[in-house]
Chain A
Amino acid sequence: MRDTLERLPAWARWALYAAIGVFLLTAVQTISDTERLTQVATAREMLRFAVPIFLAGLGGLFSERAGVVNIGLEGMLILGMWFGAWGSIEYGAWWGLLIGVLGGMIGGLLHAIATVTFQVDHIISGVAINILAPALARYLSEEIWESPTTSPRTSAVGDWDVPFLAGGTIFGWESPDWLLSIANQEWWYVSDVAQLSRGLLRGTSWVSIIAIALVPLTAWLIWRTRFGLRLRICGEKPSAGEAQGINIIRYKYIAVIISGGLAGLGGAFISTELSGLFQGGNSAGRGFIGLAALIFGNWRPGGVLLGALLFGYVFGLDLRDLDGTASHAMLLVTAIAFAGVAAWAYTRRRTTDTILAGVLGGGALFWWFIADTVPSWWSNTLPYVIVLLVLVFFSQRLRMPAALGQPYRRGET
């Protein structure tokens, strides 16, 4: 069965995973007293949360594929937030995005200078950037907007409804909204899929569309081009690349600067699209979560997106779940996921893992039985707990670049 799965083309495999995921949600929802798990707004919030996480994670992918650990993503994201807001106010929405990207790139350049040229420990340089970036943003805000934490309103690049599927307009003609009609039929599972898809396709920010387009683009760049191959050599075995005449230093610089630019785009998205202004603290650790998505996604573009969407789903669901019923239903989803992990571990004869997953899943199931609602901490911590659990259970299946975090000097092996 695994062979059949692996013979499928990537898009079909992902579609299958998505269908199974929604099926699980629908099944759980049927026996729960909530409808939020598959609502249109849930999918929309998921995407809005996921995009900056994904962009930061993708930034991390470029940097780490080239062997440079990037804890500074959070700082670069904050630079993108500030510069994006400033650019948007001064020159308009699209310029704002571009300037946000440039702001993030400045952070990336700093990180590259410290780690690649001066061989400062990557974590240390990243921490320094995370301290410097918010300080710079506060200073510039104070000097330019006369408030260290908030800017005036920014403008956004706007959004798009997909024609036919989600009722978008083509040259002024309003196309039918097919997904809405399917959703209104209230067919079990089918309507749920329609609702979630419609949340992704209607009122979608252009930045989100760019972000999603970056998945195949990055995959192509990393796996199919000469540039990507050389980038990966920097992260796997730089001395081998050097022997081939590749300028490792240059590629590392490019990778880390791209990394900062992507995190900057994520930051610009937060200030111009999500909040509509720059606000200190609005990054809310998304740079760090992006790093988590990168690990969750096993340093692959599609995996990073999957991780970002998963975290975005949990955050987005929590945002609208005022009475805690949807979070309660998520307990059952968690229990089922643990059951899956336990089964997987059992087939591999990993007894400790089987027992651990079984106990955790049993605990979630028990909690689901005895409680009607769950306290806020459950959904607020779930994304981070997921990352820890992935590392606990699957760290042997994760494969990070071999030379990640190691200093590189020309002429040394």
Chain B
Amino acid sequence: MPTVVLMDSSLSMTRPVSVEGSEEFQRKNLAVHGLTMLFEHMATNYKLEFTSLVAFSSLWELMVPFTRDYNTLQEALNNLEDYDKTCLEGALQGVSNVVQQEWGSACPCQVVLVTDGALGIGRGSLRHSLQTVKQRGEDKKFPLPFPFPSKLYIMCIANAEELQATDGMDNLEQLINLNGGDGQIYTMEGPLCLKSVQSMFGKLIDQAYSPFHAVLRCGNLTSDVQVFPRPEPVIIDEEVDPMPKNVQTDLEIVGFIEIGDISSPPVLSRHLVLPIAVNKEGDEIGTGTTDDTEEDTSTNQMAGKSPNFCVLLHGSLKVEGMVALVQLGPDWYGMLYSQADSKKKSNLMMSLFDPGSEPLPWLGRMSQLGPASDAAENPYGEDDSKSPFPIQPKHKRSYAQNVTVWIKASGLQTDVQKILRNARKLPEKTQTFYKELNRLRKAALAFGFWELLKSMAELLERECTLLPDSAHPDAAFQLSHAAQQLKLASSIDSKYAAFEHNITPMLTDFSGGGGDRI
């Protein structure tokens, strides 16, 4: 989930903070301090997150495009200049553009807005923007809600009292609601100082950037893993089932399926599954700050040399072309597979299916999947030539069952012509002739289209008179028999008008039921 840091660089950010003591800070310094802490945390624990930095005042500027290079971000942050007044609407539009250009509109993003809560005055102020939200044309719409799924975190370099004194707090709350309610406003507790800014960003880190650690299990084989990006809670039906579902930290493999059988299933999200080494204190190796890198590498080297289940699983999944089904929670499943990137490097990847008992129709109910060895007969065949998947639905779809649709005249004409074409080739085409005739008959009965039955009967009778002398004598018998039966169907005679009744070929002396060559 990429992050956009939206940094207020308006003049009001340079307001000094009154501290008893030695140094004098600007609010901007506090903001930079907080963000530095965030970047440091990400550089060590959330390395794979793409982050970009946008600065804004009355204009906005993309300072650093999406990157994993936190040094670049830090450098840009340190060199931020001060500009004029705050104009949030334009900046939010900027964020929207930056994200969509890079990731499209399906990728969820986090936006971290850092501001002092002085949201401008007059035109261009947030207050003004929010007041006019409803009176806008299509071309000048307010940028929220963002077109992509997003969480908006607002870091205020101000305390709650300060914001509540003006309408700043209300406006910011409105902003989050406009975006769908996902996100939070953080304010500083107590005096504005380095300590309180640290505690505020600490809360953000806990909330949004804590790594997701889990145990991947396959029977008794296990591996400690980090799942990145961390899986977000999912709500299935906000009415019947409004509780968000969370991925549990115990990822249990339930079995294996061929890639061809699972065949490109739709997924909610994709995550890297990275094995991690857990040392005695229960800390992840690599969480330490930069100064103990030496120790780090040595432990990493150790970890690299001891066998890890993830690596084994990845290797075998890749070689065999299979996926592992993994249970993420009650009635929630996902799959593990090997994913190769363009550079031929490959990784263990996990995709989450929709929560529910039957996320993929072609696999059926997940709880009904059991070990193939339990089946009376090997469902994959002795030589791996068969597969129990996909599961066939109970009813065939319309396009798989030769339905009759006469909404367009051409549909009806085609069906009539098909019958006449076969009528001219009697008795060779007796089977097809009656098959098509019965199809037409059924549809006409269902649609209450008796007129068609009569017309068809007449057409067949005329065909009979037009038969050439060379025609097989059986043809004439079959044609008049069929015409007769159609007429009966359009009368109220229950026996012949029954939907399930089929017109069968007349038994004649010539062929014993027609030369049934198809």
Q: Is the A/B pair a real complex?
A: no
A-contacting residues of B (Cβ < 8 Å)?
none
B-contacting residues of A (Cβ < 8 Å)?
none
